[in-house]
Amino acid sequence: MEEPGSIHSIINLYDSEILRAEKVWGLLREKASGRSVDRDALNREIKQRFEDIGLVVGVKWFTGGTPGPGGVLVEIPGLMIPEIEIRARTQRTGEFDHEQMAHEVQNNILELPGQEKGKIGMKEGDAMKLLADKHRGHDHG
């Protein structure tokens, strides 16, 4: 299971979809961070924004808190953290095209460190992890 406040996918994504999903997720996090929000309204907005880029998502909510003695989470009343799970594509985007994915990976459109253009050097699922690490400021090059 992913850490709460994260985004992950249970389907194969194109690199271009990963970029769009990360952009939407970043905008949503920025909008809600440190603010009181209507969880139902935010839930609808999350689903709609992802649908707008051709992806169907599920949203799970977790109670947030701070680490307490012994690493036990001390819940903060009212602090809820979403976890986004990309489950499918909308009908308008169609089925997964392996040739499109190969083209996007070969051209390193994610600009991942250590990846030469023209070569596929990753295992399935590694691109989303590397991109998330890149956004957190880590470099696994």
As for how many domains the chain has, the answer is 1
Whether residue 131 has pLDDT greater than 90: no
User: What is the reported pLDDT for 84?
Assistant: 93
Judge whether 139 lies within some domain: no
Q: How do strand 73-89 and strand 7-9 relate by DSSP bridges? A: parallel
Judge whether 63 lies within some domain: yes
- Report pLDDT digits (tens) over 107-119: 777 777 777 666 5
- Report pLDDT digits (tens) over 58-96: 999 888 888 888 888 888 887 888 899 999 998 766 667
Calpha distance 66→41 (Å, rounded): 25
User: What is the reported pLDDT for 96?
Assistant: 73
Judge whether 83 lies within some domain: yes
User: What is the reported pLDDT for 33?
Assistant: 76
For residue 14, what are the domain limits? 7-94
User: What is the reported pLDDT for 52?
Assistant: 94
Whether residue 49 has pLDDT greater than 90: yes
User: What is the reported pLDDT for 29?
Assistant: 86
Judge whether 113 lies within some domain: no
Judge whether 37 lies within some domain: yes
User: What is the reported pLDDT for 2?
Assistant: 46
Cβ-count burial 103-112 (b if 16+ within 10 Å, e if not): ebbbebbbeb
Contacts of 81 (CB under 8 A, 6+ apart): 4, 5, 61, 62, 63, 64
Judge whether 33 lies within some domain: yes
| Whole-model pTM over 0.95 | no
Judge whether 127 lies within some domain: no
Least confident of 11-15, 38-42, 51-55, 113-117: 113-117
